[in-house]
Structure formats: structure tokens, C-alpha cells
Amino acid sequence: MNNSGYIFDIKKFSINDGPGIRTTVFFKGCPLKCWWCHNPESRNPEPEKFPECTFKWNPNYDNNLKNVVGRKVETSDVMKEIEKDIPFYQQSNGGATFSGGEPMLQIEFLNDLLQNCKKKDITTAIDTTGYTEFKNFERIFSVTDFFLYDLKLMSDEDHINYTGVSNKIIHENLRNLTSNGNKVILRIPIIPTITNTAGNLDEMINFISSLKSIWEIDLLPFHKSANSKYEKMRKENKLPNLEPLRHEEMEEIKDRFLHLEYPVKIGG
């Protein structure tokens, strides 16, 4: 079977999207509209054209696509790129990561890619917001080695304000997912004045302590690298002047999570 789907990039030699050296495939479409989103080009599920925008995956250097973000591809197109890096996966215990956007929005395409990776003994990871029906997790659980699961805000009101959606299904899915096995790497974006408040961090630590089992906690520092994307795409940037935390401040936050007795690191 050769399904098709929409992606906007394939990043080679990634070291921040799961264990080892990885190839990360970025899916188009996301149900969340996070104020701090580093991939605003992922939000719309369809390809978009921007006169001043040239970031995208365009392997054939088609001049007609030079300003188009996103394209429809077949499973075989993506697998061809992933398989090129098999020697690097073997040396580093790496593999393929499917990110976005939200890859669960294209579950048929995602499942087909995961099945093909497993046939090639390629380790798989999914970077997910968790905002999907749990049956989608159940469908792909056996062919996914790691879930890179975002945990942002504990207050539902704040979550709706800063991401556009409720966190109730996200938290419930996380409880269910961690009860099925030790496959979850929690990824917590540390956004100054928003997610790094004492109240949010304390509630988050309490919530994590109630989970059955996780593999690791990754604290993701806010950075300003997406500012140029917002400018080129002429999209509203809600946090244009927000400054990242200093390393010492990130270390202090890390210390708060260490008593959970899970590995904690700064970065993905």
C-alpha cells in the first residue's frame, strides 16, 4: 500500500527529535495555535504560497514550487529519503521521527510510514501534541518505539487561551498512553511568563508523579528562531519581543523536576 499525505520538510541528521541521529519528517496541519509556535508553516493542512518564503522540502528544485510551503507526497517518496540514512541510525541508535504540525491528523499516511519503517527495522518516534482520539494511539502503538509527547499548561483555561484548544483530551491520552508501556518522552516547552510559572510547574510535577511510567523528561527552552518565519509568511507573531531564559534559569527549572526520579535534560 502506498498512501499519500502532506509534508512541508524533511530534516536530516536531527539530534533533537528523539534518541540518536534521526530523519525528521514534518507533517502539514495542526489543531493547536500555540503563541510560541516555532513551525507556523505547519498550521495549515494544505500547501501555501508565500512570495518571500523559501523554506520547504523541494528535492527536485522545481522552480514552480520555490515559494510553496508543503507538498503532497507518496509513502515511497518519504521512505526513499529515510532509507538513505540507515547507516547513521545503526551507528547512533537513531531512526525516523514524524513531527509537524500534528502527524496524527494524517493517521492513514502516518501508519503506512510506520509500517514501512518497521519492515526495514528503522526505529520510529512520533512528536505529538496529544490532541487526537486515543484510538489513533492504539492503532500505531505496536509500530512506534517512542512518543515525544508535549505537555504545556495544566490550567485548561490557560491552555485554551495560549493554544486555542482544551487540554483535557491531551492529559487523558497521556494517562492512558503511559499505562500501556514505557514509551513516552515528555517534552515541556519552557516559555517565559507563560509555562514557566511556579504554579504551572508545580501542578505539572504533581501530574507527572501520578503517571504510570515515562522514559524521560525534556525541557525545551524558548528561542526566537521562528521570528523570521512569521515575518516572511506575514503571520502574526504574538511573542516577538519575548527573551529566552538564561542557562542558569533553565538549570533551576530542571532541578524542580529531578525528584521525580526520571531522567531530565534541557533540550530535545
Cα end-to-end distance, the chain, whole Å: 33
Contacts 24+ apart (CB under 8 A), 154-163: 154/200, 154/203, 154/204, 154/207, 155/200, 155/203, 158/194, 158/200, 162/34, 162/35, 162/194, 163/32, 163/33, 163/34, 163/35
Whether 107 contacts 127, CB under 8 Å? no
The arithmetic mean of pLDDT across residues 15-31, rounded, is 95
As a whole number, mean pLDDT of residues 41-47 equals 93
CA-CA distance, 170 to 65, in Å (whole number)? 35
Q: What percent of the chain has pLDDT over 70?
A: 96
Is the pLDDT at 67 greater than 60? The verdict is yes
Q: How far apart are CA 148 and CA 187, in angstroms?
A: 6
How do beta strands 184-190 and 146-150 pair? Answer: parallel
- Cell output for 172: 487523558
- Residue 195 pLDDT > 80, yes or no? yes
* Percentage of the chain exceeding pLDDT 90: 84
Inform me whether the pLDDT recorded for 217 exceeds 90. Answer: yes
Amino acid 164: pLDDT: 98
Domain span including residue 18 = 4-266
Q: Which residue has the cell 489543531?
A: 31
Any idea what the Cα angle at residue 25 is, between residues 23 and 31, rounded to 5°?
145
CA pair distance 170, 166, nearest whole angstrom: 8
Taking residues 247-264, what's their average pLDDT?
Answer: 95
> In terms of C-beta density within 10 A (0-12 exposed, 13-18 middle, 19 or more buried), how is residue 255 classed?
exposed
Query: Looking at the predicted structure, is the pLDDT value of residue 213 above 70?
Result: yes
Q: What pLDDT is attached to residue 56?
A: 65
What is the C-alpha separation between 265 and 44, in angstroms, rounded? 31
C-alpha neighbours within 13 Å on the C-beta side of residue 138: 5
Report whether pLDDT(1) > 60. Answer: no
Average pLDDT over residues 141-151: 97
pLDDT above 60 for 209: yes
pLDDT bracket for residue 66 (50, 70, 90): confident
pLDDT given at position 57 = 65
Cell matching residue 2 = 502506498
pLDDT at 36 over 90: yes
Task: Locate 77 and state its grid cell.
Answer: 517518496
- Per-residue confidence band for 61, with pLDDT thresholds at 50, 70 and 90: low
The pLDDT, as a whole number, for residue 51 is 80
CATH of residue 234: 3.20.20.70
pTM for the model stands at 0.95
Provide φ and ψ at 185, rounded to 5°: -105, 115
Please tell me which residue, 32 or 181, carries the higher pLDDT value. Answer: 32
Q: Is the predicted pLDDT of residue 103 greater than 90, yes or no?
A: yes
- Average pLDDT over the chain reads 93
Q: What is the mean pLDDT of residues 225-248?
A: 92
Domain count along the chain: 1
Task: Name the pLDDT band for 59 (thresholds 50, 70, 90).
Answer: low
